[in-house]
């Protein structure tokens, strides 16, 4: 289908061939937005000093459809997603690499928007893009734009998070409403009428997780960002890996009204919807009040709640319903599909 | 939502639950066994699982799932036909999301999509018509699945396609109607039920009156229910009261949606577009007068007529007891395949696939892994 764009307004296969157009893209677009000393060198690899402690490395690929959605876009998501994986591991995020896979014909203006949004997210997260790659594939060989980011962060010597730290009696907190991102993207993709009422929570969490670690130290046992599969899937993974049971209290789990209503209409469970600015912290019972106060004092944790408890057991997750019934939560099986009636 | 919150108020819920429990004990004493009710509708099955009601009433009352999950009762032959449409050159298959993973004899739409078939999920048949209009070089075959609830929207999609003069939109109609399936259940001598929780959405279309035969011909109590926890508890309470009083009535516990005569406009649409036919339900076999087919004047839009794909005799997987489950003869845990050979990622039968399927609901919310 003709797009009406002039050829210079869209990504061409030649933008990925390593020649003149690639160079123009790197210097004219990527460097303009990601400006920093390490990247400006344009060498084959970025070299940087590392301090005391351990390094954390994580990688994630972003293939979201649609690439622009209420509350964010694929660029912001690609930065925040990787930053958050570092943050909940107890690392201070430092550097990112970015790889773009772009479909021939993708509008340059959209690429500029995505990269500008990434640059802003990087600035907010205090990370620098120090290496990158661009590939262009023929029309129809991928859907618009995919982005991979790899993140490097530093973990201070005194930080020790992990399944091995969980003990019966530990309490589970979340920093806010569940399911906003998953529902916002679903609504934007399907063009539902309520699409403007649900906004993705996509945001970098490193400051709030860093503060929690600074103030509580070893009182924080484990943190997880609640992305694909949502709260239920993360809780199940934690329970299985730690070899303990997790009991969640349904009435304490915060869910926004719009998400709740939309989820019911579509027959999806908000506990299985993705979040991009929410995390779960397992905290020692003696530290929980302090943790709650601290989270609620931050704008990313206003709706923070204690939603459950770790108990001795064998890897089950139970949800206490408002009536006092019990249901069992398991991993998400396949993408949530809408129901018929 | 604030109004809905009132139907979930935990305090009212606990009070009502205590009364339901007390009546269930009295009924148990009266009958000398536990009372058995069937929730006909799959959405009720999920609501019961999600509220944890089964665990709260454990030992006092038994709730069995019925044939009201539209995906679950879709016959193997129909799913094989849907797959066959997806293999026709130039054809795009449009479907509600639930159908995508349901296994037929050999394969599912999801597997066919991975192998190159063009399968698209729509939330409404009207969206499939829009798609057909935007893609005139492709044939859109929409899969009509569901009960009286989805049939009016499917009828309207054909009206819309005709108004737009579209030649590339057709429907593979596998819609069913609920009352004949209840008849089929009620005449089964193996079935022992003390009452029905009747579906909310279907009843909104066909009305309360359409169920009077349950009380008049079979002497069983029934209550139409909404989907909130308090709706379901209220339905159980009223069913138990009928059981204890030895009465049989069709009560409407969902008056905010369901009317005595139903939705007359929707019924008029059904009459205009469809005629009743005998169709096969998974687990039941052919139930007389339980399916819809296009009236002759709409057969241009009948995908069966337009394409007549070849479909081999269906092969039914060994050990799958979805059929017995849909007839209320067993609960998911009593099926040997449940959570072993049959899981949501590798479903053997449809009850494990649909979000409304009893096995999927049990697996998701009522199973312990250790």
Calculate mean pLDDT across residues A194-223: 93
Say whether B38 sits in a helix, a strand or coil: strand
> Same domain, yes or no, for B243 and B148?
no
pLDDT at res. B271: 97
**Residue B328 is assigned to a structural domain of this protein:** no
Higher per-residue confidence, B330 vs B166: B166
Order of all β-strands in the sheet with B222-224: B61-68, B35-41, B195-198, B222-224, B250-252
pLDDT of residue A334: 62
| Between residues A165 and B104, the one the model is more confident about | A165
Q: Are residues B63 and B21 in the same domain?
A: yes
Q: Report residue A3's pLDDT band, with 50, 70 and 90 as the boundaries.
A: very low
Number of domains in chain B: 2
Look at chain A and count its residues. Answer: 341
pLDDT at B3: 67
The domain spanning residue B227 has which CATH number? 3.40.50.11750
Regarding whether B272 and B172 lie in a shared domain, the answer is yes
pLDDT of A83-139, one tens digit each?
Answer: 999 999 999 999 999 999 999 999 999 999 999 999 999 999 999 999 999 999 999
> Final residue of a domain: which of B248, B271, B298?
B248
By the 8 A CB rule, do B108 and B100 touch?
yes
Domain enclosing residue B135, as ranges: 76-177+262-307
Question: A45 at the B interface (CB within 8 A)?
Answer: no
Check if A321 contacts B (Cβ < 8 Å). yes
Tell me what the pLDDT averaged over chain A comes to: 91
Measured between CA atoms, the residue of chain B closest to residue A192 is: B123
Q: How confident is the model at residue A335 (pLDDT cuts 50, 70, 90)?
A: low
The DSSP line for B302-328 is BHHHHH----PPP-PPTT--HHHHHTT
Mutation target for A interface from B73, B363, B364: give the one with most A CBs within 10 A: B364
With beta carbons less than 8 A apart as the criterion, state whether B84 and B60 touch: no
Output the pLDDT for position A5: 41
All residues of chain A having their beta carbon less than 8 Å from the beta carbon of residue B71 are: 340
Q: Which of B197, B215, B248 is the endpoint of a domain?
A: B248
Q: Structure tokens of A93?
A: 């995020």
**Interchain contact A197–B (C-beta under 8 A):** no
Same domain, residue pair B190 and B271:
no
Which residues does B85 contact at the CB level (< 8 Å), separation at least 6?
B91, B93, B141, B172, B303, B307, B309
Residue B227 maps to a domain: yes
Q: How crowded is residue A153: how many other Cβ atoms within 10 Å of its Cβ?
A: 25
Q: Confidence class of residue B348 from pLDDT cuts 50, 70 and 90?
A: confident
Taking each helix axis from N to C end, the angle separating A206-216 and A288-296, rounded to the nearest 10 degrees, works out to: 150
For residue B4, the model assigns a pLDDT of: 66
**How confident is the model at residue B369, as a pLDDT?**
45
Q: Does A329 touch chain B (CB under 8 A)?
A: yes
Helix segments in B95-228, DSSP class H: 109-114, 125-134, 151-163, 178-186, 200-206, 212-218
In 3D space, the residue among B354, B135, B96, B122 whose CA is nearest the CA of residue A190 turns out to be B122
Same domain, B168 and B289: yes
Whether residue B209 sits in one domain with residue B143: no
CA distances from B163 to B92, B95, B152 (A): 21, 22, 16
What angle, rounded to 10 degrees, do the helices at A74-88 and A108-125 form?
A: 30
Contact (Cβ atoms closer than 8 angstroms) between residue B39 and residue B202: no
Measured CA to CA, the distance from residue B242 to residue B229 in angstroms comes to: 20
- Give me the percent of chain A exceeding a pLDDT of 90: 75
- Helices vs strands, H then E, count in chain A: 10, 13
Cβ contacts of A261 on chain B, cutoff 8 Å: 1
pLDDT at B370: 37
**A239-265 burial string, b = 16+ CB within 10 Å, else e?**
bbebebbbbbbbeebbbbebbbbbbbe
What does the alpha-carbon distance between residue A12 and residue A207 come to, in Å, rounded to a whole number?
Answer: 39
Q: Which segment of A260-269, B204-213, B221-230 scores lowest on mean pLDDT?
A: A260-269
ipTM of the prediction: 0.75
* Least confident span in A1-5, A170-174, A293-297: A1-5
Query: Comparing A237-241, B72-76, B91-95, B189-193, which segment has the lowest mean pLDDT?
Result: B189-193
CB contact under 8 A, A340 and B96: yes
Q: Which two structure tokens, joined as six digits, stand for B235? A: 């339905």
Q: Which two tokens stand for residue B250?
A: 């069709």
- Quick check: is B19 in a domain? yes
A190 close contact with B: CB closer than 8 A: yes
Whether the pLDDT of residue B275 is over 70: the answer is yes
Burial label, B112 (beta-carbon count in 10 A; 0-12, 13-18, 19+): buried
Can you give the pLDDT at residue B335?
Answer: 93
Higher pLDDT, A105 or A8: A105
Partners of A333 on chain B (C-beta within 8 Å) are 343-345, 363-364
User: What is the distance between the alpha carbons of residues A83 and A92, in angstroms, rounded to a whole number?
Assistant: 9
Report yes or no on B234 lying in a domain: yes
Convert the pLDDT of each residue in B111-127 to its tens digit: 999 999 999 999 899 99
Residues B243-266: pLDDT tens digits?
A: 999 999 999 999 999 999 999 999
Residues of A with Cβ-Cβ distance to B52 under 8 angstroms: 319-321, 323-327
Q: What is the pLDDT of residues B294-329, one digit of tens each?
A: 999 999 999 999 998 888 888 888 888 988 888 888
pLDDT-based confidence at residue A1 (cuts at 50, 70, 90)? very low
Q: Specify if B61 maps to a domain.
A: yes
Same domain, B80 and B155: yes
Residue B323 lies in a domain: no
pLDDT surpasses 60 at A338: no
Interchain pair B52, A326: CB under 8 A: yes
Note whether B1 contacts A260, CB cutoff 8 Å. yes
Asked if the structure places residue B58 within a domain, the reply is yes
Give the residue, A230 or B103, on which the prediction is more confident. A230
Give yes or no: residues B52 and B29 share one domain: yes
Is A328 at the interface with chain B, CB within 8 A? yes
Which domains are seen in chain A, by residue range?
7-155 (3.30.1330.10), 163-329 (3.90.650.10)
More confident call, A339 vs A210:
A210
C-beta neighbour count of A292 within 10 angstroms: 17
Angle at A175 between CA A266 and CA A71, to 5 degrees: 55
Sign for the pseudo-dihedral over CA of B307, B312, B318, B319: positive
What is the tens place of the pLDDT at every residue in A297-331? 999 999 999 999 999 999 999 999 888 888 888 88
- Paired with A145 in beta bridges are A102
Confidence of residue A210 (pLDDT cuts 50, 70, 90): very high
Q: Which A residues, 260 through 299, put their C-beta within 8 Å of a C-beta on chain B?
A: 260-261, 266-267, 269
On whether both B17 and B109 belong to a single domain, the answer is no
- Work out the pLDDT band at B55, boundaries 50, 70, 90: confident
Q: Please give the pLDDT value at position A147.
A: 97
CB pairs under 8 A between A and B: 112
> pLDDT at residue B2 above 70?
no
Q: Is residue B209 part of a domain?
A: yes
What is the secondary structure of B148-159 as a DSSP string?
Answer: TTTHHHHHHHHH
Shortest CA gap B121–chain A (Å): 9
Instruction: Please check whether residue A150 is in contact with residue A82, taking contact to mean a CB–CB distance below 8 angstroms.
Output: yes
DSSP tag of A160: -
Same domain, B87 and B171: yes
B344 to A338: CB separation less than 8 angstroms, yes or no: no
Which residues are bridge partners to A154 per DSSP? A55, A92
**Cβ contact, residue pair B56, A341, below 8 Å:** no
Given this model, what pLDDT does residue A320 score?
92
For chain B, say whether A195 makes contact (Cβ under 8 Å).
no
Q: How far apart are CA A301 and CA B234, in angstroms?
A: 38
Q: B145 and B108, same structural domain? A: yes
Do B213 and B173 fall into the same domain?
Answer: no
* Contact between residue A149 and residue A228 where contact means Cβ atoms under 8 Å apart: no
pLDDT tens by residue, A247-304:
999 999 999 999 998 888 887 889 999 999 999 999 999 999 999 999 999 999 999 9
Q: Of B13, B70, B97, which is closest to A323 when you measure between CB atoms?
A: B13
Q: Does A323 touch chain B (CB under 8 A)?
A: yes
The CATH number given to whatever domain includes residue B115 is 3.40.50.11740
Cα separation, A340 vs B42, whole angstroms:
10
Convert the pLDDT of each residue in B31-48 to its tens digit. 999 999 999 999 999 889
Report the distance separating Cα B52 and Cα B57, nearest Å.
Answer: 9
Q: Does the pLDDT of residue A8 top 80, yes or no?
A: no
- Cis before residue A66, ω within 30 degrees of 0? yes
Nearest Cα to B152, choosing from B270, B263, B272?
Answer: B270
């Amino acid at each position: 289908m003709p797009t009406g764009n002039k050829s210079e307004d869209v990504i061409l296969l030649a933008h990925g061939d390593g020649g003149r157009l690639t160079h123009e893209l790197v210097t004219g677009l990527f460097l303009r937005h990601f400006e920093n000393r390490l990247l400006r060198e344009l060498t084959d690899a970025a070299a940087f000093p590392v301090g005391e402690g351990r390094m954390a490395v994580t990688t994630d690929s972003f293939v979201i459809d649609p690439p622009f959605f209420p509350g964010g876009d694929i660029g912001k998501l690609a930065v925040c997603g990787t930053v958050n994986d570092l943050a909940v591991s107890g690392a201070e995020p430092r550097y990112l690499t970015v790889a773009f896979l772009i479909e021939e014909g993708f509008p340059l203006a959209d690429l500029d928007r995505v990269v500008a949004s990434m640059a802003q997210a990087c600035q907010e997260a205090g990370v620098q893009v120090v290496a990158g790659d661009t590939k262009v594939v023929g029309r129809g060989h991928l859907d618009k734009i995919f982005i991979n980011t790899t993140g490097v962060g530093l973990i201070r010597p005194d930080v020790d998070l992990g399944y091995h730290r969980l003990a019966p009696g530990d309490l589970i907190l979340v920093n806010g409403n569940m399911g906003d991102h998953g529902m916002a993207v679903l609504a934007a993709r399907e063009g539902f009428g309520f699409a403007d009422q649900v906004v993705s929570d996509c945001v970098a969490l490193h400051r709030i997780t860093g503060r929690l670690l600074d103030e509580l130290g070893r009182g924080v046992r484990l943190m997880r960002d609640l992305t694909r599969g949502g709260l239920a899937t993360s809780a199940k993974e934690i329970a299985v890996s730690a070899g303990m049971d997790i009991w969640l209290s349904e009435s304490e789990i915060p869910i926004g009204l719009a998400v709740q209503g939309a989820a019911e209409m579509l027959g999806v469970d908000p506990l299985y919807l993705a979040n991009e600015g929410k995390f779960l912290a397992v905290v020692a019972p003696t530290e929980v009040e302090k943790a709650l106060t601290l989270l609620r004092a931050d704008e990313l944790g206003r709706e923070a709640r204690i939603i459950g408890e770790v108990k001795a057991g064998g890897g089950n997750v139970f949800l206490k319903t408002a009536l006092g019934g019990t249901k069992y939560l398991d991993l998400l099986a396949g993408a949530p599909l809408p129901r018929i009636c | 939502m604030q109004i809905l919150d009132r139907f979930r108020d935990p305090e009212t819920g606990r009070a009502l639950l205590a009364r339901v429990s007390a009546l269930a004990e009295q009924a148990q004493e009266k009958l000398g066994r536990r009372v058995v009710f069937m929730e006909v509708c799959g959405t009720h099955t999920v609501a019961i699982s999600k509220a944890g009601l089964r665990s709260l009433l454990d030992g006092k009352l038994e709730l069995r799932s019925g044939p009201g999950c539209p995906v679950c009762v879709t016959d193997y032959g129909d799913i094989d036909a849907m797959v066959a449409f997806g293999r026709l050159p130039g054809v795009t298959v449009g479907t509600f999301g639930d159908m995508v993973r349901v296994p037929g004899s050999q394969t599912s739409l999801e597997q066919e999509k991975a192998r190159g078939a063009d399968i698209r999920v729509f939330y409404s048949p009207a969206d499939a018509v829009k798609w057909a209009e935007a893609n005139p070089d492709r044939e859109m075959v929409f899969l009509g699945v569901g009960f009286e609830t989805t049939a009016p929207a499917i009828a309207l999609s054909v009206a819309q396609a005709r108004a737009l003069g579209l030649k590339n939109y057709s429907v593979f109609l596998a819609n069913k109607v609920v009352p004949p399936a209840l008849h089929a259940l009620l005449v089964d001598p193996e079935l022992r039920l003390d009452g029905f929780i009747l579906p909310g959405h279907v009843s909104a279309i066909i009305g309360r009156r359409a169920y009077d035969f349950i009380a008049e011909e079979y002497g069983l109590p029934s209550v139409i229910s909404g989907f909130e926890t308090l709706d379901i508890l209220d339905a159980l309470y009223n069913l138990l009261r009928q059981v204890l009083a030895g009465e049989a009535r069709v009560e409407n516990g969902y008056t905010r949606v369901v009317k005595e005569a139903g939705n007359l406009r929707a019924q008029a649409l059904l009459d205009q577009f469809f005629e009743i036919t005998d169709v096969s339900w998974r687990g039941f076999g052919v139930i007389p007068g339980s399916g819809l087919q296009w009236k002759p004047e709409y057969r241009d839009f009948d995908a069966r007529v337009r394409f007549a794909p070849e479909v081999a005799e269906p092969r039914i997987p060994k050990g799958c007891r979805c059929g017995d489950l849909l007839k209320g003869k067993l609960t998911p845990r009593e099926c040997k395949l449940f959570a072993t050979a049959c899981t949501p990622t590798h479903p053997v039968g449809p009850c494990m696939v649909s979000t409304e399927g009893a096995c999927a609901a049990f697996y998701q919310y009522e199973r312990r892994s250790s």
